[in-house]
Structure 1
């Protein structure tokens, strides 16, 4: 199915998630025929979560499952560090570490103060110091604004400095570059750039336009031109500029990777003769809307690129990070070799492998805020709402529902999963387990002292009487968008199915906007302090 023709626009929108946006019966019938890779193709790690390393010298994408968009990667000797857009989740910008490019573990969250919705950061090291350049969009939280910031540290594990405002209100996606004369620059969306001071903590002058990105044929099915995500890599005699065009969501055939090169940081820039280097061309492919790439040298001297994409039928998981092998060609250009990334790829050789990811189950011996749990749109005092004591998470109530309570959320990257927890509320309290996209779109089950409350489409509905009082064990199952709830009054020895199931394939960006994912989590509203114990997560 070639989606480069106008008469196949409808086909480009097919897939399980797209049906929730209102596709008709004919589209539904065609979508049912779209091939989908079985979940059993992955190896399993913590809590049965899928991991990329197959254990036989190969790996299978995604590199980072779940919402890990706009990857920015740093090679620092034998070590690799990576972080991602975290939007309205705080603590944000979790730094991940690897030595083999395939297996990753979280270190910490670099950004602890809410400065806005974080879009496409840039992690670099210059003269022994680490920097994070952070574009943000203003939100309704106090102290946020639309601009770009920088934070720095001399130890990648932190602590990081307080954010410094770079006064860049009209651009996103900064990409750091050092010119042949040692000058420092940020390349920006739209083909612009701005100079930095030598210490990298301020801009010099105003942004200037330096590059007109390659344009695709006008009849391609895309979301929009939207040149963004510029990344500069110096290799051999050239500076290579990689850019994303075509829009980051919308039709699965939109987002793509293009490249240009120049012998000088000042241009002129010559477009790659084989642009686009990566593009989804069929709704039958495993990975959709692929773009926002960065080149990186592997531990064995080979070259790779990380970028993001949506998984076919699972827009709800957000944009996941993908790893693609790069081959340099005799003419000084490069190409990506992984195709649609649905098949295993030989791992880079060398580097120490570590257990990938982290358990999402939590006994609450300590508070893993940032590296595991994040607040949604937190206020300045949000972290004071949570503490752990005697293997219990104590979560002070705020607001009346998940929409205004700033819930605690996880990133779960599997197509199906189940999570459960003991929940105890204070008099006047309401608490429960949720699947949360944003404050207007979520699902879940909560309870007060007398009744259950269901959360559907971001709306609260009163439900049957609660026979368990102020304490029960709750379980949520999201089996490939089919959601069921179970409750237990005896600690999980016996379960009773709640009488309301849901289907959540439409809880995603192409329906709601926001570039987020559907995340499992906990909320505490009403009055008092809710207690959560023995949180268990299992991928299906």
Structure 2
């Protein structure tokens, strides 16, 4: 068992300098494949509101460790605590940070990015010295670049974004070179030096690596080298890169590896590339990529990545964890297989809560951490008023496409969401399943009566509700892509809407944007809508 001093000398992950306080390592608990789930035992554990979680409470876990849209994971270890964030794309507040001690169960810390800079792609969370940084590729209508924010504590306050003026690259990865200088690895095998404070670049971007190329007869989306992640171990720099395209065919995305003695190379391709790849569309997880190596709490090693669940592109790219082993030749290999069966937890004896509730009665003075706006304006939060008696939202736009709906991220194959709403004259309130401004479905009510939203289009319905209605509840059931709507007036029973929908095609391969299908609240037209209750319930 390595002591803490040895770990600090041997491990430098993504440019992270471990804190100076002593770090302890529990006795090693080897990670090997578990048996298949026992008969009559649910595959996943269950957490808040019956949401599925990876921890099965029997010492094992079943992927995903984060269900729902958690793409491009960026992870660091700071002593005995792990911190993790994901791409947030068009959702704000963005770059939500989570913490864990066992790599399986994660508790919320809070969002790091509150100043909109566009659509946020694969970030890199690091700690250098006593300061945390996140390097952020972002695209807006007027600007494409890489930014950085920083904080002295993981829970903030985080700085405003600093533009590094790197318009031609995405997916940065921070590292400390063999010369002690700070660098950013970039997409397409490029590298740029950073200043000592990490807040500006030094010199020009250099091309230092040509990624390993897969056979031409493989089904992929594109070559697209992206998502480099760097580990320094035993005087080697190990680079993990995603190639094959993020979506497209289920077999496209993959993880490759290379190593070098210097950040500038020369780089050697791993003899066992690709490290991870979906080889058949019958597998449980598709398009696996954007991987990072991390030392576990018991001294063993793990790979964290993302992938699409077979048949559930609508849930977005979900976060995956699998054990790896280091070989005698200094390379590593995954032990995860197709991730369809459980593994022993890195710390089997620990049982901790995971995730957070999605339901909200809006009784607090600030918006809950489960909520994010889609493509908000810089002053979107000015639309929100929480007075202890519900969420009062100022109306915006006319259809879901231009209302910046307020959304949560589901991780279940089947669930129900319910919203209770009170309308001002001239306003329109709705409950949606929202992918992006061109693809959504839902039901709303306003001055023109009921409107059905389908395929990103609007269709008015004959109004069998009372004219001047001000109070209404809407329920949406998404049961393995079959969507059913219900309405209820105060004191009455639920009434099923007469049109049902099938939404398995509401995803990136249909409408681009790398997003997921999310329940959302809509306030359009004029005036305000008050939401007094939102309920989420996973259906087993």
CA distance in 2, matches of 1:387, 1:351: 43
Change (3 A) 1:368 1:501: farther
Q: Shift of the alpha carbon at 1:40? A: 4.1
Please tell me whether the aligned partners of residues 251 and 287 of structure 2 are also in contact (alpha carbons under 8 angstroms).
yes
CA distance in 1, matches of 2:190, 2:127: 22
In the alignment, what sits opposite 1:161?
159
CA distance in 1, matches of 2:140, 2:225: 21
CA displacement, residues 248-307 of structure 1 (integer Å, 9 cap, x when unaligned): 100000100000111222211111000001000001000000011001111111111110
Please tell me whether the aligned partners of residues 108 and 370 of structure 1 are also in contact (alpha carbons under 8 angstroms).
no
| Counterpart selection for 1:385 from 376, 383, 386 | 383
Gaps of 5+ in 1: 1-37
CA distance in 2, matches of 1:69, 1:339: 20
Please tell me whether the aligned partners of residues 240 and 261 of structure 1 are also in contact (alpha carbons under 8 angstroms).
yes
Q: Shift of the alpha carbon at 1:349? A: 2.2
Q: Shift of the alpha carbon at 1:148? A: 0.2
CA distance in 1, matches of 2:140, 2:530: 33
In the alignment, what sits opposite 1:170?
168
TM norm structure 2: 0.90
Alignment of 1:145-156 (within 5 A): 145-156=143-154
In the alignment, what sits opposite 1:203?
201
Please tell me whether the aligned partners of residues 148 and 168 of structure 1 are also in contact (alpha carbons under 8 angstroms).
yes
Q: 2:475 aligns to what SS in structure 1?
A: strand
CA distance in 2, matches of 1:366, 1:94: 20
CA distance in 2, matches of 1:391, 1:218: 60
In the alignment, what sits opposite 1:405?
403
In the alignment, what sits opposite 2:488?
488
Change (3 A) 1:93 1:158: same
Alignment of 1:65-464 (within 5 A): 65-139=67-141, 145-349=143-347, 353-366=351-364, 369=367, 371-449=369-447, 451-464=449-462
Q: Shift of the alpha carbon at 1:41? A: 1.3
Please tell me whether the aligned partners of residues 186 and 195 of structure 1 are also in contact (alpha carbons under 8 angstroms).
yes
Change (3 A) 1:167 1:521: same
Q: Shift of the alpha carbon at 1:353? A: 4.2
Change (3 A) 1:196 1:352: farther
Change (3 A) 1:367 1:332: farther
CA distance in 2, matches of 1:265, 1:308: 25
How many residue pairs end up in the alignment? Answer: 498
Please tell me whether the aligned partners of residues 449 and 470 of structure 1 are also in contact (alpha carbons under 8 angstroms).
no
CA distance in 1, matches of 2:451, 2:172: 44
- Residue 474 (str. 1) matches residue 477 (str. 2): no
CA displacement, residues 52-88 of structure 1 (integer Å, 9 cap, x when unaligned): 0011111000011111000000101111110011100
Q: Shift of the alpha carbon at 1:466? A: 4.6
CA distance in 2, matches of 1:247, 1:391: 47
CA distance in 1, matches of 2:158, 2:350: 27
In the alignment, what sits opposite 1:60?
62
In the alignment, what sits opposite 1:47?
49
Q: What RMSD in Å do the two structures reach over aligned CA positions?
A: 1.4
Gaps of 5+ in 2: 1-39
CA distance in 1, matches of 2:45, 2:214: 38
Change (3 A) 1:39 1:389: farther
In the alignment, what sits opposite 1:520?
519
CA distance in 2, matches of 1:369, 1:125: 28
Q: 1:384 aligns to what SS in structure 2?
A: helix
In the alignment, what sits opposite 1:502?
501
Q: 1:319 aligns to what SS in structure 2?
A: strand
CA distance in 2, matches of 1:256, 1:421: 40
Change (3 A) 1:89 1:367: farther
Q: 2:509 aligns to what SS in structure 1?
A: helix
Please tell me whether the aligned partners of residues 61 and 322 of structure 1 are also in contact (alpha carbons under 8 angstroms).
yes
Please tell me whether the aligned partners of residues 92 and 370 of structure 1 are also in contact (alpha carbons under 8 angstroms).
no
